């Protein structure tokens, strides 16, 4: 099966890192097509970044439909344009926050999300609400680490994150951690070992969820909201995006 | 004061009609700048339309900041890109669904939304939840009228809407109606007279809300989520959208 | 248009102060009729005060109907007898907590209410729930300032309130403040300047909301709960209150 | 022990009927003091009736404190002025809707409220929310029987109510009925026999709840909201109501 | 009337202590039959203990039906197997957490639960949700006292509990305490005197609630979920449990 | 990896059928150990059945821990004893209702559950609440087909279910169906083809979810509620169940 993992920001080095994590966890027989758009924000740290990034992301989904993709992973913790992507896709589309929260809710009575900037905390709360996960999500904690610092060599980012995860377990009544940024995928196991409690990371979780849904032959429902966009001609420089 | 009313679809005739309604209701001294983008969908009837339309909408907000705009109205019932727009704007930004639901909740114990296509009903429910209005919103009803049919001469659309409003009052335990599409602004009073109960229309409501907030000198809070987007360089054809 | 602002407590000096704030913000052409009952509690600091104060308040609404009032503002942060007042009034009736919370929810992702006595905090929470605003209301904070201390010359009340507002921003994850007492109207801008974040005050917000609703010709819905009270003869000393 | 049952409307014949029901169910050793105010509405069928009726009700609670009352029942299904009454009373104060909903939630997974006029349905929903009972309350149904018709000889009211209770069981997924008006107390068993499912009536339920709380020596908590009203001098004709 | 109080753990000394508390509070004419199963866990401190204890508990309910029992109290704060017990019983079945939370919600705007082990806190939250009491339950606090320590002579357990109750009042915005373990029944009044606020204990509360429901002739609804288990033959060593 | 699928009822023919479905969907390298207890109810159709069935189910989980099981599926739509099982297990434990609802929430904006008996509908609602899925679950519909009828040759059960699924799509605003009984696993695809919308079945969904969690090395969190039961000696005939 072919799973397309779309990093909606343009930072190829993050895409490469996610692709490595995805391929490591994928079942034999699963092909991971990992892409990022060539246009848009290099990192997504707010609603405006997210809105602009949606364009490139949706172009990749539409392209995927022609590539015979079986399922999609949206690899940014804000799960941008998730519903719009579902309108385009025949197969399942899953966000990494969605997959991570589902997984955490199965293995623990409560979890904390540990994320990057303070201004993205409400975005995580909105997602928890959208997926019905507020009853499991005990807290969302910012570390004030910028997304692109995460994989800078010699950065203190990892230790900062580990420290915040420990505080989450001690203070929030949580029993597991959800890492709130796709850029944290590569050091998930390292954090888990440091804190001695389950750490859920969305990229890998979403790949396995997508594989499961494809194996179950569960495609996106096309009766209602997620039906194909109505065919119409878009105007001006966006006419290439017209749904057909 | 200068209020910018942004119709996020590209259909100028809808923009003109909204502008008329807005100017009629505006206080003396309020200048209404009504625009629609030159790029993007001619009507917004789903999540994908909405995501693509956000680009032109946000460009108009950013332009507005240079035009000395005091407050913004997002004139599509899905209130697209509302939070992103708030990141860009210094003054208040209000969506027409938000304004209409607030107004209806003050004058009635419960309201029904009467909108266009079935596939947009969940969008209205999401908005009701986002604004805390689910306790007032008794039902969302589709009429299966397409957005662009609304002002076609000789169309049966108006009668269809009036009939659905009557059913809403009879069956939903609602005491007022919220019209769920910016394209319905012009016949709001006609519907009200036909059904004998308050009918709230978002374009006019949002203009008055925006005026009120500007008069109160209440600008968008810039401490947290709605702070200006972090300055960064976007890639490729979207580099013009880079937040500075 | 004629807006009647009813201070449900009997302290004329508070009524005068609110009237000043209301007139300053009102549009040209809006006449503010500011009254307080001659009977009842001089300040409202609990459920019992509120229940007794409702009588004078409702008498003023009923009188207003004969005065050709277009809209009403209930100027006590508990929004006492709001639904009963709506049964009496033809035009819109808005509470100051309701207006302030609506306004704050448009300009900020979350707000804190800063009020007077501890025992009124739950009242504010109930109002937040009633208006659907719990998702925006991050905290309600008491200052243990009594209502009538607020405008005593030389009182430390203002500084106490400013300090509590600062703590709210720092500790509650709020980006804006709602002042939780009509008596705080006069120093709203002073607090805003001191803390550097939007401060919403209900008297002025409600005046503008009422003006907006009147301009929109949105009257109280009379089909259901807010229909005129059934005509009946009340007994004993309350017979003058009989609905006709 | 002495339980004071306060019918907040002035219709003595309803008070007498409730007194009979209360005395029949009361334990030996429980004295029922049943009163109704001499001033105010003869029936309570809306928010305005309720607000005005609160005055006489609260006077009876205050009088009760001097009579050595151990617990109070507020005998109108809207549970008017419940929190204000708790401020005045040392012992427990329970509303008949509160007691009936608690009882019904213990014996059935879900109940329907069958009440009088349509316009009081939302009041019942508000009460269900206030007591946390929305998860049990499957529906609130009006019969369009006026309160004072209930005990008119030869009235069709009883049959109308029985028919509505049957529909509730069939259509709402409810397994029990809560009668939504104090005036229905006398024919509770008759309805139960007719429909073959538990019927909970608030006057009797509240008397037993009050007895239980008094026996448990559980008085109203006086630390927070329910502390005695602050002593202050009320103005004008309401000065007799001043809390001391 | 005959009330059967079932302690679902096997520790007879706890059963005896509860029986004393129950008999002291019971009305003249109420016979308390207090039992504990001869099989199962000696204390219930988690979901597994609870699941296994349910067997003996249900056997006692089934036996009770042959003994002519009028109402049942499940005397463990987790209210184990409450719905299953209601399927078996004709009369009302009430859990001690249910009764305590109901009682606390009548006398106080908010309460805290003070319980034994940390791992049982979520169980208490689940119960609060199930009974609609989350709006009253401000916090659940563990003392890390094991159930069986509670009545060990010379144990520091009581003081630990009193200290935690004081913290709850100071820090949680609660006005009353619910003791979260049946083993705390005997020192309820002692705690109340020490902290000066109402303390609700479930065994006694449930006995009075059960008496009230029996007096009201309110039996378990048998239309829906709580209908007798369908007759079927269970297999193997559990065949004695087959519902008939 | 070794996944243990536990059918908590004793009907081997259902276990065999589920095992077939599970093995068909399982990845190469996944061993399915499908068992049912030798003691307890042959079908689970209520709370009492469920409580008694928990004993055999938990014995199978405990046995599994000695068999080196990597993950567990509880194969009854009530997800009985799920939390207790998590206390016993090192690896993940997932219920079939939990897995099915998660899957359905990813591919559709809303789903209906179609189940067997009316009396189990509330159980499904409780599960939806427990998993945060009420916002997706539009309705739960009974077919009044008994569990053991489902695989009787020549039974009308399948057609009844297909008809109810169609009604669900038409009347509930749902876009997908969740089959609410493990016994329906074998005809999931048949129903899907008949109705033309996604049909989610829990046994297969849970097997894939369990595989995913095991692959992700996500074990049950052992810090809080799901820690191993405290070691203690159970009494009487249940002493074999004592946690060690």
Would the pLDDT of A180 be above 80?
A: yes
CA distance A244 to chain F (A): 22
Strands B176-179 and B2-6: unpaired
So what's the pLDDT on residue A223?
92
Residues 6+ apart with CB under 8 A from F5: F18, F19, F22, F32, F33, F34, F35, F72, F73, F75, F203, F206, F207
**Cβ-defined contact of A233 to B49 (cutoff 8 Å):** no
The neighbouring-strand residues paired with F5 are F34, F73
So what's the pLDDT on residue F61?
98
Question: Closest by alpha carbon to C131, among C169, C83, C60?
Answer: C83
Q: What size, in residues, is chain A?
A: 244
**C-alpha atoms less than 13 angstroms from C-alpha of D35 in its C-beta half-sphere:** 19
So what's the pLDDT on residue F182?
86
Question: Closest by alpha carbon to D26, among D82, D73, D67?
Answer: D73
Tell me the per-residue pLDDT of E104-161, one tens digit each, with 9 for 90 and over.
999 999 999 999 888 889 999 999 999 999 999 999 999 988 877 877 777 788 899 9
Contact residues of C toward E, CB < 8 A:
121-122
Same domain, B45 and B114: no
- Scanning every residue of chain F, which has its alpha carbon at the shortest distance from the alpha carbon of E54? F51
Contacts of A122 in chain C (CB under 8 A): 109-110
* Chunked mean pLDDT (size 10), chain B, 244 residues: 97 95 96 97 96 98 98 97 98 98 98 92 95 97 85 82 96 95 87 96 98 98 95 95 94
The residue-averaged pLDDT of F158-187 equals 93
Encoding tokens for residue B1? 């004061």
When divided into structural domains, chain A yields a total of 2
Would the pLDDT of C40 be above 90?
A: yes
Find the CB nearest A103 among F173, F218, F222. F218
Would the pLDDT of A146 be above 90?
A: no
The residue-averaged pLDDT of F143-153 equals 80
Question: Closest by alpha carbon to C201, among C187, C221, C217?
Answer: C187
Tell me the per-residue pLDDT of A120-137, one tens digit each, with 9 for 90 and over.
899 999 999 999 999 999
- Scanning every residue of chain D, which has its alpha carbon at the shortest distance from the alpha carbon of F126? D135
CA distance F111 to chain B (A): 13
Encoding tokens for residue E21? 């508390």
**3-state secondary structure labels for all residues of C151-204:** CCCCCCHHHHHHHHHHHHHHHCCCCEEEECCHHHHHHHHHHHHHHCCCEEEHHH
Chains A–C, number of C-beta pairs less than 8 Å apart: 3
Tell me the per-residue pLDDT of C159-184, one tens digit each, with 9 for 90 and over.
999 999 999 999 999 999 999 988 88
Q: Give the rounded percent of residues in chain A with a pLDDT score beyond 90.
A: 87
Same domain, B30 and B124: no
Higher per-residue pLDDT: C146 or D151: C146
So what's the pLDDT on residue A69?
98
Say which residue the tokens 């039902």 belong to.
B139
Dihedral angle of Cα C149, C151, C153, C154, to the nearest 10 degrees: 60
Find the CB nearest B88 among A42, A48, A50. A48
Question: Which of C109, C136, C175, C176 is the best mutation test for A, with the most CBs of A within 10 A?
Answer: C109
So what's the pLDDT on residue C244?
87
**Cβ-defined contact of B131 to C105 (cutoff 8 Å):** yes
Distance, CA of C8 to CA of B63 (rounded, Å): 46
**Cβ-defined contact of E109 to C122 (cutoff 8 Å):** yes
Same domain, A104 and A189: yes
Q: F180-209 b/e with 16+ CB inside 10 Å = b? A: bbbbbbbbbeebbebbebbbbbbbbbbbbb
Chains F and C touch (3+ CB pairs under 8 A): no
Same domain, C179 and C150: yes
Encoding tokens for residue A83? 């519903």
So what's the pLDDT on residue D148?
79
So what's the pLDDT on residue E233?
97
Contacts of F109 in chain B (CB under 8 A): 122
Same domain, F102 and F172: yes
The residue-averaged pLDDT of F154-161 equals 87
Residues 6+ apart with CB under 8 A from E168: E112, E114, E138, E139, E141, E174, E177
**Cβ-defined contact of F46 to E230 (cutoff 8 Å):** yes
**Cβ-defined contact of D56 to C238 (cutoff 8 Å):** yes
Contact residues of B toward F, CB < 8 A:
121-122
**Cβ-defined contact of A122 to B224 (cutoff 8 Å):** yes
Sheet holding F137-142, edge to edge: F137-142, F111-115, F176-179, F199-201
Chains B and A touch (3+ CB pairs under 8 A): yes
* Tens-level pLDDT at each residue, chain D (244 residues): 999 999 999 999 999 999 999 999 999 999 999 999 999 999 999 999 999 999 999 999 999 999 999 999 999 999 999 999 999 999 999 999 999 999 999 999 999 999 988 888 999 999 999 999 999 999 999 998 887 787 777 778 889 999 999 999 999 999 999 999 888 888 899 999 999 999 999 999 999 999 999 999 999 999 989 999 999 999 999 999 999 8
Chains B–D, number of C-beta pairs less than 8 Å apart: 3
Same domain, E181 and E235: no
Distance, CA of C199 to CA of C210 (rounded, Å): 19
Residues 6+ apart with CB under 8 A from C23: C32
So what's the pLDDT on residue F156?
87
Contacts of F86 in chain E (CB under 8 A): 47
Contacts of A121 in chain C (CB under 8 A): 173
Q: Where are the alpha helices (DSSP H) in D151-195?
A: 157-171, 188-195
E86 in helix, strand or coil? helix
Contacts of D122 in chain B (CB under 8 A): 109-110
**Cβ-defined contact of F205 to A198 (cutoff 8 Å):** no
Same domain, F103 and F169: yes
Contact residues of F toward D, CB < 8 A:
121-122
Tell me the per-residue pLDDT of C83-128, one tens digit each, with 9 for 90 and over.
999 999 999 999 999 999 999 999 999 999 999 888 889 999 999 9
Contacts of B105 in chain D (CB under 8 A): none
Q: Which domain holds residue A29?
A: 2-96+205-241
D94 in helix, strand or coil? strand
Output the domain CATH number for residue C14: 3.40.50.12500
So what's the pLDDT on residue E112?
98
Say which residue the tokens 């001695």 belong to.
A196
Residues 6+ apart with CB under 8 A from E193: none
Q: Tell me what the pLDDT averaged over chain E comes to.
A: 95
Distance, CA of E201 to CA of E186 (rounded, Å): 9
Tell me the per-residue pLDDT of A27-71, one tens digit each, with 9 for 90 and over.
999 999 999 999 999 999 999 999 999 999 999 999 999 999 999
Same domain, E176 and E81: no
Would the pLDDT of F244 be above 90?
A: no
The neighbouring-strand residues paired with D188 are none
Same domain, C101 and C150: yes
- Scanning every residue of chain B, which has its alpha carbon at the shortest distance from the alpha carbon of F110? B122
Chains F and E touch (3+ CB pairs under 8 A): yes
Provide ipTM, 2 decimals: 0.96
One-character DSSP codes across F138-171: EEEEE----GGGTT-TT-SHHHHHHHHHHHHHHH
The residue-averaged pLDDT of F65-89 equals 97
Find the CB nearest C238 among D52, D122, D224. D52
Touching subunits of E (3+ CB pairs, under 8 Å) are: A, C, D, F
Q: Give the rounded percent of residues in chain F with a pLDDT score beyond 70.
A: 100
The residue-averaged pLDDT of E1-30 equals 96
So what's the pLDDT on residue E185?
84
Same domain, E91 and E101: no
So what's the pLDDT on residue E150?
77
Contact residues of B toward D, CB < 8 A:
109-110, 173
Distance, CA of A202 to CA of A191 (rounded, Å): 14
Q: Tell me what the pLDDT averaged over chain C comes to.
A: 95
Say which residue the tokens 């997908």 belong to.
F176
Residues 6+ apart with CB under 8 A from A196: none
Say which residue the tokens 């009985």 belong to.
F80
Distance, CA of D187 to CA of D179 (rounded, Å): 10
Touching subunits of A (3+ CB pairs, under 8 Å) are: B, C, E, F
Same domain, E187 and E110: yes
CA distance E121 to chain A (A): 10
Same domain, C90 and C102: no
**Cβ-defined contact of D234 to C51 (cutoff 8 Å):** no
One-character DSSP codes across chain C: -EEEEE-SSS-HHHHHHHHHHHHHHSPTTPEEEEE--SSB-SS--SHHHHHHHHHHHHHHHHHHHHTT--EEEE-STT-TTHHHHHHH-SS-EEEHHHHHHHHHHHH-S-EEEEES-GGGHHHHHHHHHHTT-TTTEEEEEE----GGGTTSTT-SHHHHHHHHHHHHHHHS--SEEEE--GGGGGGHHHHHHHHTS-EEEHHHHHHHHHHHHHHTT-PPP-SSTTSPPPP-PPBGGGGGG---
So what's the pLDDT on residue A154?
75
């Amino acid at each position: 099966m072919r799973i397309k993992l779309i990093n909606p920001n343009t930072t190829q080095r993050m895409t490469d890192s996610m692709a490595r994590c995805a391929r490591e966890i994928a079942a034999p027989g699963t092909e991971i097509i990992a892409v990022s758009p060539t246009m848009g924000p290099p990192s997504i740290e707010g609603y405006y970044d997210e809105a602009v990034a949606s364009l490139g992301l949706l172009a990749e989904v539409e392209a995927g439909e022609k590539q015979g993709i079986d399922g999609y992973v949206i690899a940014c913790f804000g799960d941008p344009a998730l519903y719009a992507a579902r309108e385009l896709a025949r197969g399942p589309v899953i966000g990494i926050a969605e997959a991570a929260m589902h997984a955490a809710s199965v293995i623990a009575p409560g979890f904390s999300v540990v994320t990057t900037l303070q201004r993205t905390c409400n975005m995580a709360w909105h997602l928890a609400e959208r997926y019905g996960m507020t009853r499991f999500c005990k807290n969302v904690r910012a570390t004030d680490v910028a997304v692109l610092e995460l994989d800078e060599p010699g950065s203190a980012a990892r230790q900062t994150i580990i420290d915040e995860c420990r505080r989450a377990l001690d203070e929030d009544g949580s029993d597991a951690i959800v890492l709130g940024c796709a850029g944290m995928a590569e050091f998930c196991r390292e954090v888990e070992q440091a804190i001695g409690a389950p750490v859920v990371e969305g990229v890998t979780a979403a790949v396995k969820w997508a594989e499961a849904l494809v194996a179950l032959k569960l495609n996106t429902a096309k009766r209602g909201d997620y039906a194909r966009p109505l065919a119409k001609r878009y105007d001006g420089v966006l006419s290439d995006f017209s749904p057909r």
